[in-house]
């Protein structure tokens, strides 16, 4: 089976790529979006995974930042939250319909290149604040995509926590030094934004030695 995995370069989607590639009879491709995110440095990390696993890697420009303002992820005038990953802290990072836009493009690329499924790395911790990370959205979108272009959409980690995912990564020896999580997008992880905090908690929580260099920890 040919699977096209949306990989941001973060922990969750990178683990998903390694996980898919570790199974028999899977041919895995990767797609990464350059959508105007301030943490664009994550693209280089996704590329490391593609190189290591020797996967086809589609890097797609989707200039969401140019037509949607007001999210801390794409608009530099909005401050990235520096508290624990929670519903309030994440609210400013919502990019409306981000996953639907990315999934539609990923399905188009899949259809044009003979992939049967698109994998997306949403997890349980995202449900409350990001409606397009919920299982009912993934199911509805899967139905629409099968009708539109014959490609299935699956989110294998949609019911897992980030700690569960780190557990899978630990088992598969995913090199987390090849992943990037910080919403601030500087060379080193800041260590204090909501996603850095969540990263630290998950990696330490499963007993891994954290290979990440943080500005503050």
Residues that bind its own copies (CB under 8 A): 58, 60-64, 66-70, 95-101, 103-105, 107-109, 111-112, 131-132, 134, 136-137, 140-141, 143-145, 147-151
- Residue-wise over 173-209: b if at least 16 C-beta within 10 A, else e? ebebebbbbbbbbeeebbbbbbbbbbbbebbeebebe
Q: Which is nearer to its own copies, 104 or 195 (CB)?
A: 104
For the bound state, the minimum distance from the C-beta of residue 211 to its own copies, rounded and expressed in Å, comes to: 33
Q: Which is nearer to its own copies, 26 or 127 (CB)?
A: 127
Q: Which is nearer to its own copies, 23 or 69 (CB)?
A: 69
For the bound state, the minimum distance from the C-beta of residue 29 to its own copies, rounded and expressed in Å, comes to: 13
Q: Where would I find the beta strands (DSSP E) of the chain?
A: 2-6, 27-34, 57-61, 117-119, 152-154
For the bound state, the minimum distance from the C-beta of residue 199 to its own copies, rounded and expressed in Å, comes to: 26
Torsion, CA 43, CA 98, CA 31, CA 127, rounded to 10: 90
For the bound state, the minimum distance from the C-beta of residue 3 to its own copies, rounded and expressed in Å, comes to: 17
How many of the other CB atoms lie within 10 Å of CB of 111? 17
Q: Which is nearer to its own copies, 113 or 173 (CB)?
A: 113
For the bound state, the minimum distance from the C-beta of residue 99 to its own copies, rounded and expressed in Å, comes to: 7
Q: Which is nearer to its own copies, 149 or 172 (CB)?
A: 149
Q: Please tell me what DSSP assigns to residue 189.
A: B
β-pair partners for 6: 31
How many of the other CB atoms lie within 10 Å of CB of 41? 16
């Amino acid at each position: 089976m040919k699977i096209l995995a949306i990989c941001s370069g973060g922990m969750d989607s990178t683990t998903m790529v390694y996980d898919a590639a570790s199974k028999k009879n899977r041919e895995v491709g990767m797609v990464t979006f350059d959508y105007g995110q301030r943490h664009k440095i994550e693209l280089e990390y996704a590329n490391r995974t593609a190189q290591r696993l020797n996967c086809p890697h589609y890097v797609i420009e989707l200039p969401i930042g140019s037509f949607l303002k007001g999210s801390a992820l794409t608009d530099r005038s909005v401050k990235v939250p520096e508290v624990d990953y929670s519903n309030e802290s994440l609210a400013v990072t919502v990019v409306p319909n981000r996953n639907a836009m990315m999934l539609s493009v990923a399905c188009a690329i899949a259809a044009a290149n003979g992939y049967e499924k698109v994998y997306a790395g949403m997890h349980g911790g995202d449900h409350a604040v990001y409606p397009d990370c919920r299982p009912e959205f993934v199911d509805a979108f899967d139905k629409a995509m099968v009708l539109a272009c014959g490609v299935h959409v699956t989110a294998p980690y949609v019911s897992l926590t980030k700690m569960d995912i780190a557990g899978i990564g630990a088992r598969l020896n995913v090199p987390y030094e090849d992943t990037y999580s910080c919403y601030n997008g500087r060379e080193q992880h800041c260590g204090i934004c909501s996603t850095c905090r969540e990263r630290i908690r998950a990696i330490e929580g499963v007993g891994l030695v954290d290979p990440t260099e943080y500005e503050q920890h």
